[in-house]
Amino acid sequence: MWQCGACGKGQVGFVPTLSPRKLRKPARLTKLTMLNTVAKTFTAIDPWLEWLGDRLNPLLVKETRQALKSRQFTLWFVLMLIASWLITIGGVAIIGPSISFVSAGGYLLLAYFFALAVPLVIVVPFTAYRSLAAELEDNTRDLLEVSTLSPYQIINGKLGSAVVQMLVYLSVLAPCLAFTYLLRGVDLPTIALLLSMAVCSSLALSLIGLLFAAVTRQRYAQVVLSIILAGALFLALWGLLMSAWAITNYGAWFAADETKIVIAAISSAFITTFALLYLTAVKLVTFASANRSTALRWAMVAQQAAFLAWVGGILAADNFSDVNQAAPGCGIVAGIYWLVMGSLLTGESPTLSRRVRRDLPQSTLGRMLLGLFSPGPASGYLFVIANLLTVAVLFLIGLSLRGGIFNSSVTGPRPSNVSAATFLLLGLSYVAIYLGIGKLLISAARRVAIVTMLGSFLIHVLLVLASCGVPVLLQQSISWLRSPNYTYLQLPNAAWTLSDLLDDDLTSLQWMTAVLIVPAVAACMFLVNLLFAAREADQQRVAAPERVVQDDLELAPPPELKPQNPWEEPEPA
Amino acid sequence: MKATHPQIELRNLHRWFGSTHAVNDISFEVAAGEVFGYIGPNGAGKTTSMRILSTLDEPHSGDAFVDGFSVLEDPDRVRSRLGFMPDYYGAYQDVNVREYLDFFARAYGLRGGERKRAIEFAMDFTELHPLATKPIDGLSKGMKQRLCLGRTMIHDPSVMVLDEPAAGLDPRARIELREMIRRLADLGKAILISSHILTELAEMVDKIGIIEQGRLLAVGSVAEISARVTPDSIVRIRLLEEAQSLAKWLESHDHVADLEANGAQLKFRHAGGEAEQAELLAKIIAAGFRPVEFATQTKSLEDVFLQVTKGRVQ
Ligand SMILES: Nc1ncnc2c1ncn2[C@@H]1O[C@H](COP(=O)(O)OP(=O)(O)OP(=O)(O)O)[C@@H](O)[C@H]1O
Ligand SMILES: [Mg+2]
């Protein structure tokens, strides 16, 4: 505590109480002037702190206050201090006098990393999860919800509290990590990489914890989710420690050329996924009649764009000579991604709330371009197909530039261009079929029951499992069908069809049949769902209620009309 | 600017829980400065409709409006105008009274001096100053209720929805609460309050709504409703002499029923209005009886409640 020299009390506002007589004493003058300056700085800083405090997230302020008083936090803090001391003393004792020439820093670094990873990867995310889940249990969730805190503020506040906690743990171990740098066998890039891995994992896992807490309000589901989350956190800890071990063992990893590219690619995947999860968490705590889809769809597009940019960049480095090899792998990644996203998007409600309809694009052009981003299951279906089509088309362009789509000669590594192109076409068709049938099933089920987004996801999972599993089961169990080879029965089975296609195991008749039938079915599915989409797009924009317009005007009155030139008379009001 | 819409409006609200029709076609309005008492037996649907009004639940059909904004379409605008005090206590650990109020003041976007004034005002109003630094989990029931009320009014909402705020309060605290609520109404707030303590409620409400099994059975002032359910009033007369002879004399009169004589006291039901009652008194005196007291007993809110509701539980 900073003490006032003159009065001995810990008062900041002591300046006016100083008597002029005391000031005149020459011996104390310098000391007092110094104090004066300090006090002045304090009084100058104070309003700034106040201003800052006002702009801080309310939840962050409250939770930091709570944490400072809570036992759990103190306990972990002390445990970490003890751990870091034990490691330091133990490490130095074991290494002993050889400390100056043995490269033992790596082991010590790993030990510290372990001491840091446990709180960062287990404690911080689980605390974040608990803090949002406890709002529900302690009946404070309703109070937060009726307040004017925005959904962004709620998620930012919870995430911010996790970051503050993380910083405290980091500050305990930072001196220790700096200490390992003084030893042999540790370099700065390794320390930096390990630290950023721990921090990023902690942040991402905290976000996942918040997602888990926000996804359902049912207590039983929360119990199950908390167990799953705990398991996932321990798995993540194990993964993180394994990769840390690998990195410290590899040595001078940063000297390799590809390292930067790998790290940059992983970072961009991390950032786009984080953005998507963040927006999902925010939309989960947003009220139901709001538009909870458009922002997420933009995030998905951004993620796909980043993915394509990386793939394109890497392929371009080799003049696109590997495009035939990259096409199936990237197709599978994109296909699974959009299948999962599609299974959720097609679970959206088909009737748009009046609130959403206020902001629908109005012009025909706007509706054509932005209609895909409007909420609704049919627009979601079209959105997914459009994105997947983009991937397919880009690769087809790549293939046609490198030898042509219909080129079946295999000079370099397989697959041939024509196989890769067929793979893309059939892959796209299967996704269109599965999602299309799933969407029709959901609309049928909605006539008799409420289908949630989770329900929609499960319907799609069952659908995909059934269409791949049932044909295999039939072929294996019915004697006159039994055959280890591909048969027409497997046409609905995307996995078998696509893998045999890639391996050139289909007879040419089978190949022809698949290429004709699967896209044809997909086109039918697409057309049927297009009809649904037309019905959905029929929901017109509505004007905002008069009361809302009036309120908006009160909040932001239109600027007064100013005269355009010096001769123009301002119109009398 | 004078608002042309009611501060609170419920419009044909319906809400089912499985096969329970918890809220069945409820509509009513509350104007600024009015206290609306919401009464009904347990499980009648009070909490459910109040939660819908507070944007915490959604109706299956119908809509509710706060200051003209739909709770379904514009919950964000509703929330800044509404204070909701639920029938349970939402507490945080390791937080004291002032910090708790400070948090909600921040949550409602109050800043700097404005926030400090709001907290001071709420603590003055609910007399929480002596407890400012007490952890909130350690508060007594009545103190918690005060804190909840303080939290509910922290952002100076124009509409307050209070679900059983008087539950668990001692008599003095109940009287204080009643005064607080009246004062809030005098500040121009529209207040919807539910309670089972009817005697308390009767003294502060302008209007009541009686709800049972999700249906609104009656809306209006206590006097209006009681006049509607039974226009009869109970008349009590005390004579100087034995009342037996007056009872006999009255038996033949119109509008009079259920005569009960007890010493000098006489009680009966009278079906006429005040004019008929005055006439009757004049006749009694003219007939030579000597009444010292002639009183018509007004029906209490409890009587009205018992007459309107049937005690069925769904
Ligand atoms: N979450 C819920 N799930 C299922 N049923 C519910 C739920 N909430 C309320 N109900 C039912 O709705 C009906 C109305 O309940 P509500 O809580 O609104 O009554 P209330 O008038 O507030 O009663 P009380 O005076 O006891 O507080 C009851 O039958 C209740 O069982
Ligand atoms: Mg209730």
- Give me the percent of chain B exceeding a pLDDT of 90: 53
CA–centroid distance, residue B153 to ligand 2 (Å): 20
Q: What share of chain A is helix, strand, coil (3-state, %, to 5)?
A: 75, 0, 25
A30 or B195: which leads in pLDDT: B195
pLDDT surpasses 90 at B205: yes
Using the Cβ of A22 and the Cβ atoms of chain B, whether some distance falls under 8 Å is answered with no
pLDDT attached to residue B91? 87
CA–CA–CA angle B129, B130, B134 (5° rounding): 100
pLDDT attached to residue A1? 37
Using the Cβ of A146 and the Cβ atoms of chain B, whether some distance falls under 8 Å is answered with yes
Quote the DSSP letter at residue A492: T
Q: Could you name the CATH architecture of B8-227?
A: 3-Layer(aba) Sandwich (3.40)
SS3 B281: helix
Which residues are within 8 A (CB) of A23 and not within 5 positions of it... i.e. 6 or more apart? A29, A32
* Token code pair at residue A336: 């699974």
* Inter-chain residue contact A66 with B89, CB threshold 8 Å: no
pLDDT attached to residue B9? 95
* Token code pair at residue A433: 């079929």
* Token code pair at residue B125: 């109003």
pLDDT attached to residue A250? 76
Distance CA A452, CA A216 (A): 11
pLDDT attached to residue A508? 86
Kindly provide the b/e burial profile for residues B150-182, where b requires at least 16 CB atoms within 10 angstroms of the residue's own CB: bbbbbbebbbbbbbbbbeebeeebbebbbebbe
Q: Are A417 and A401 in contact (CB under 8 A)?
A: no
Nearest to A62 among B69, B82, B95 (CB): B95
CA–CA–CA angle A374, A379, A384 (5° rounding): 110
Site of tokens 């800890």:
A237
**A133: distance to nearest CA of chain B, Å?**
13
Which residues are within 8 A (CB) of B265 and not within 5 positions of it... i.e. 6 or more apart? B236, B237, B238, B243
**B65: distance to nearest CA of chain A, Å?**
11
Protein residues within 5 Å, CB atom, of ion ligand 2: B 47
Quote the DSSP letter at residue A253: G
* Token code pair at residue B215: 């249906």
Nearest to A58 among B56, B80, B106 (CB): B106
Q: Could you tell me how far CA A204 lies from the centroid of its own chain?
A: 7
The CATH code of the domain at B231-297 is: 3.30.70
Quote the DSSP letter at residue B154: T
Which residues are within 8 A (CB) of A520 and not within 5 positions of it... i.e. 6 or more apart? none
Distance CA A65, CA B95 (A): 8
Distance CA B42, CA B22 (A): 11
Nearest to A433 by CA among A503, A505, A498: A498
In this structure, the residues whose C-beta lies within 6 A of any atom of ligand 1 are B 17, 20, 22, 40, 42-48, 314
Q: Are B71 and B63 in contact (CB under 8 A)?
A: yes
* Inter-chain residue contact A143 with B104, CB threshold 8 Å: yes
Here the contacts of A526-530 (C-beta below 8 Å, separation 24 or greater) are: A526/A385, A526/A432, A526/A436, A528/A436, A528/A440, A529/A378, A529/A381, A529/A382, A529/A436, A529/A439, A529/A440, A530/A378, A530/A382
pLDDT attached to residue A551? 87
Nearest to A351 by CA among B72, B88, B268: B72
Beta bridge partners of B65: B9, B70
* Inter-chain residue contact B77 with A548, CB threshold 8 Å: yes
Q: What is the edge-to-edge ordering of all strands in the sheet holding B35-39?
A: B82-85, B159-163, B190-194, B35-39, B207-212, B215-220
Q: Are B145 and B180 in contact (CB under 8 A)?
A: no
3-state secondary structure A173-239: HHHHHHHHHHCCCCCHHHHHHHHHHHHHHHHHHHHHHHHHHHHCCCHHHHHHHHHHHHHHHHHHHHH
List, by residue range, all CATH 3.30.70 domains of chain B.
231-297
Nearest to B108 among A62, A69, A147 (CB): A147
Distance CA A224, CA A419 (A): 44
Which residues are within 8 A (CB) of A357 and not within 5 positions of it... i.e. 6 or more apart? A539, A540, A541, A542
- pLDDT tens, per residue, chain A with 573 residues: 344 433 433 333 333 333 444 444 445 556 667 667 766 776 777 777 778 888 899 999 999 888 888 888 888 888 988 998 898 888 888 777 666 666 667 788 888 999 999 999 999 999 999 999 999 888 899 999 999 999 999 999 999 999 999 999 998 888 888 888 877 777 888 888 899 999 999 999 999 999 999 988 888 889 999 999 999 999 999 999 999 998 888 766 777 778 888 889 999 999 999 999 999 999 999 988 889 999 999 999 999 999 999 999 989 888 888 888 899 999 999 999 999 999 999 999 888 888 888 888 877 777 777 788 989 899 999 999 999 999 999 999 999 888 888 877 766 677 888 889 999 999 999 999 999 999 999 999 999 988 888 899 999 999 999 999 999 999 988 888 788 888 888 999 999 999 999 888 888 899 999 999 999 999 999 999 988 888 887 777 888 888 888 888 888 877 766 666 666 665 554
CA–centroid distance, residue B84 to ligand 2 (Å): 13
- Model confidence pLDDT, tens digit, residues B58-76: 999 999 999 999 999 999 9
Q: What is the mean pLDDT of residues B160-168?
A: 91
pLDDT attached to residue A269? 94
**A443: distance to nearest CA of chain B, Å?**
20
AA identity, residue A104: A
**B222: distance to nearest CA of chain A, Å?**
31
Which residue lies with its CA nearest to atom 24 of ligand 1? B42
pLDDT attached to residue B76? 92
Nearest to B135 by CA among B96, B107, B180: B96
pTM as predicted: 0.85
Distance CA A165, CA A74 (A): 11
Q: What is the edge-to-edge ordering of all strands in the sheet holding B69-70?
A: B20-30, B8-17, B61-66, B69-70
Burial class (CB in 10 A: 0-12, 13-18, 19+), A375: buried
Distance CA A260, CA A247 (A): 14
Distance CA B53, CA B47 (A): 10
* Inter-chain residue contact B79 with A146, CB threshold 8 Å: yes
Give ipTM to 2 decimals.
0.83
Distance CA A420, CA A427 (A): 10
For residue A551, list chain B residues with Cβ-Cβ distance below 8 A.
Answer: 69, 77
Q: What is the edge-to-edge ordering of all strands in the sheet holding B256-262?
A: B256-262, B265-270, B233-239, B291-297
Q: Are B126 and B149 in contact (CB under 8 A)?
A: yes
**B56: distance to nearest CA of chain A, Å?**
7
Angle of helix A508-537 relative to helix A377-401, nearest 10 degrees, comes to 140
Residue of B nearest to A141 (CA): B90
pLDDT attached to residue B311? 61
For residue B80, list chain A residues with Cβ-Cβ distance below 8 A.
Answer: 148
First to last CA, chain A: 61
CA distances from A501 to A403, A435, A461, A465, A514 (A): 20, 22, 23, 20, 9
Kindly provide the b/e burial profile for residues A440-474, where b requires at least 16 CB atoms within 10 angstroms of the residue's own CB: ebbbeebeeeebeeeebbebbeebbeebbeebeee
| Phi then psi dihedrals of residue B295, to 5 deg | -130, 140
List, by residue range, all CATH 3.40.50.300 domains of chain B.
8-227
Please tell me the number of the ligand nearest to residue B87's CA: 2
* Inter-chain residue contact A142 with B86, CB threshold 8 Å: yes
Distance CA A344, CA A456 (A): 6
Q: Are A277 and A283 in contact (CB under 8 A)?
A: no
Q: Using omega within 30 degrees of 0 as the cis cutoff, is the peptide bond preceding A484 cis?
A: no
pLDDT surpasses 90 at B17: yes
Which residue lies with its CA nearest to atom 2 of ligand 1? B17
* Inter-chain residue contact B103 with A58, CB threshold 8 Å: yes
Distance CA A88, CA A104 (A): 12
Neighbours of A438 (CB within 10 A): 25
| Phi then psi dihedrals of residue B268, to 5 deg | -155, 165
Distance CA A382, CA A361 (A): 17
Q: In B, what residues contact A, Cβ < 8 A?
A: 5, 54-56, 58, 67-70, 72-77, 79-80, 82, 84, 86, 88-95, 99, 103-104, 106-109, 111-112, 115, 151, 155
What count of residues does chain B have?
314
Distance CA B34, CA B208 (A): 11
Beta bridge partners of A485: none
Distance CA B314, CA A250 (A): 71
Distance CA B43, CA B26 (A): 15
Residue of B nearest to A72 (CA): B94
SS3 B226: helix
- Within 13 Å, how many C-alpha atoms sit on residue A304's CB side? 25
Quote the DSSP letter at residue B88: S
CA–CA–CA angle A224, A227, A233 (5° rounding): 140
Q: What is the mean pLDDT of residues B105-128?
A: 92
AA identity, residue A523: A
CA–centroid distance, residue B8 to ligand 1 (Å): 21
Which residues are within 8 A (CB) of A242 and not within 5 positions of it... i.e. 6 or more apart? none
